[in-house]
């Protein structure tokens, strides 16, 4: 397999209206689709996108920034046990839901990553048809904003389900 480096000087997005209010579009809506073992670095992904980066297997993202997250900024799928995906530097803004979605069986290492105005930094796949052990390692994340540490509502309960369905929200956790 031949590897090439592509040098560019641009901001990447999908054009006005791409977000569609967080409608799940999958990899066809991704700005970048990375194969197993790929590295993406020094990129700014603009606000007009539905899905940011999809990794098909383990990958490395270095200094990748998201101006305004729509559905997910980063989706890591089908990484194998023992493989590591690295997210080094960079950051994400305005993620009303999740920044990183992990639908594989490896480890996600998040180092020196900045998030602001977000719902969740990392979400493992709780509704994947096949479940496996997933690991996440977070180090030196300089600033976490918008985590509602002073909120009276500490967590939200969901009614779990089997077979890949989406769990239903049932309310706030008791104090």
Please check whether residue 101 lies inside any domain of the structure: yes
Number of domains in the chain: 1
- The 10s digit of each residue's pLDDT in 108-159 is 999 999 998 888 899 888 677 888 888 999 887 645 444 555 555 556 777 7
Distances (CA, A) of 95 to 2, 3, 39, 66, 168: 35, 32, 23, 9, 21
Please check whether residue 1 lies inside any domain of the structure: no
User: Residue 94: which domain range?
Assistant: 20-149
- The 10s digit of each residue's pLDDT in 60-109 is 999 999 999 988 899 999 999 999 999 999 999 998 888 999 999 999 99
Query: Residue 124 maps to which CATH number?
Result: 2.160.20.10
Please check whether residue 163 lies inside any domain of the structure: no
Q: Which residue has the higher pLDDT, 152 or 30?
A: 30
Please check whether residue 63 lies inside any domain of the structure: yes
Q: Which residue has the higher pLDDT, 166 or 76?
A: 76
- 76 beta partners: 55, 102
Q: Which residue has the higher pLDDT, 7 or 105?
A: 105
E strand or H helix that includes residue 156: strand 156-159
DSSP secondary structure, 53-72, as one string: EEEESS-EEEEEEESS-SSE
Q: Is the confidence at residue 45, as pLDDT, over 60?
A: yes
Please check whether residue 104 lies inside any domain of the structure: yes
Give the Cα separation of 109 and 112 in Å (integer).
Answer: 10
- The 10s digit of each residue's pLDDT in 15-28 is 666 676 656 667 88
How are beta strands 168-172 and 156-159 bridged, if at all?
antiparallel
Please check whether residue 45 lies inside any domain of the structure: yes
Q: What is the SS3 assignment for 26? A: helix
Distance of CA 78 to the CA centre of its chain: 14
Distance of CA 19 to the CA centre of its chain: 15
Please check whether residue 130 lies inside any domain of the structure: yes
Average pLDDT, stretch 45-62? 90
Could you tell me the pLDDT band of residue 163, with boundaries at 50, 70 and 90?
Answer: low
Please check whether residue 108 lies inside any domain of the structure: yes
Give the Cα separation of 73 and 59 in Å (integer).
Answer: 14
């Amino acid at each position: 397999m031949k590897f090439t480096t592509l040098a560019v000087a641009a901001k990447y997005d999908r054009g006005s209206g791409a977000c569609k209010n967080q409608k799940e579009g999958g990899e066809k809506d991704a700005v970048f689709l990375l194969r197993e073992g790929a590295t993406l670095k020094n990129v700014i992904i603009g606000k007009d996108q539905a899905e940011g980066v999809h990794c098909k297997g383990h990958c490395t993202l270095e200094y990748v920034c998201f101006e305004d997250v729509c559905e997910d900024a980063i989706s890591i799928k089908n990484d194998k046990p023992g493989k590591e995906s690295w997210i080094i530097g960079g950051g994400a803004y305005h993620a009303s839901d999740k920044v990183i979605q992990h639908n594989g069986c490896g480890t996600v290492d998040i180092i020196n990553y900045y998030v602001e105005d977000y719902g969740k930094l990392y979400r493992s796949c709780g509704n994947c048809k096949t479940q496996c052990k997933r690991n996440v390692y977070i180090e030196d994340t300089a600033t976490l904003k918008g985590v509602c540490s002073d909120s009276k509502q500490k967590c939200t309960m969901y009614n779990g389900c089997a077979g890949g369905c989406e769990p239903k929200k049932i309310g706030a956790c008791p104090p």
